[in-house]
């Protein structure tokens, strides 16, 4: 059974700092990995999708990497801003298109 782990559960950083969020998964047989953002009481916003054959994806200040063999992914946020404060969820797609989510990392960026 696939398990996705995100540690730490919460992170607080000052504005402007570059930061890395980590995600690990136990079964490397995945189709893809996605990073999502969730604001309090809201749905999910897809940030980046990395197919299993890819190593990384970039969108603006965000860069996500995937090392399938070691079961790890990182989300790099450059020059963090208070507006980046949210919960970041990592999820992997396995058999039958099922997504398995981590519990998320709640990020707070202090002005």
Partner 1 sequence: GAVVSQHPSRVICKSGTSVKIECRSLDFQATTMFWYRQFPKKSLMLMATSNEGSKATYEQGVEKDKFLINHASLTLSTLTVTSAHPEDSSFYICSAIRGTSGAYEQYFGPGTRLTVT
Q: Which residue in 49, 56, 62, 76 binds partner 1 (CB under 8 A)?
A: 49
Contact call for residue 76 and partner 1 (CB under 8 A): no
Contact call for residue 108 and partner 1 (CB under 8 A): no
Torsion of CA 101, 103, 105, 108, to 10 degrees: 120
Q: Which residue in 31, 56, 72, 76 binds partner 1 (CB under 8 A)?
A: 31
State how far the alpha carbon of 90 is from the alpha carbons of 13, 24, 81, in Å.
20, 9, 20
Determine what percent of the chain falls in helix, strand and coil, rounding each to the nearest 5. 5, 55, 40
CA distance 46 to 99: 13
The distance of closest approach from Cβ of residue 72 to partner 1 in the complex, given in angstroms and rounded to an integer, is 18
Contact call for residue 11 and partner 1 (CB under 8 A): no
Stretch that binds partner 1, among 15-23, 33-41, 56-64, 69-77 (CB under 8 A): 33-41
Question: Beta-carbon neighbour count of residue 59 at 10 Å?
Answer: 12
Stretch that binds partner 1, among 11-19, 39-47, 66-74, 76-84 (CB under 8 A): 39-47
Is the bond preceding residue 43 a cis peptide, omega within 30 degrees? Answer: no
Residues near partner 1 (CB under 8 A) are 4, 31-32, 34, 36, 41-44, 46, 49, 51, 89, 91, 93-104
């Amino acid at each position: 059974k696939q398990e996705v782990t995100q540690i730490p559960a919460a992170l607080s950083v000052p504005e402007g700092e570059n930061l890395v969020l980590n995600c690990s998964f136990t079964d490397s047989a995945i189709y893809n990995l996605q990073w999502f953002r969730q604001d309090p009481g809201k749905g999910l916003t897809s940030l980046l999708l990395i197919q299993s054959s890819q190593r990384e994806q970039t969108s603006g200040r965000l860069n996500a990497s995937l090392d399938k063999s070691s079961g790890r992914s990182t989300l790099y946020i450059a020059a963090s801003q208070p507006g980046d404060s949210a919960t970041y969820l990592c999820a992997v797609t396995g058999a039958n298109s099922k997504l398995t989510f981590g519990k998320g990392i709640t990020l707070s960026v202090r002005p």
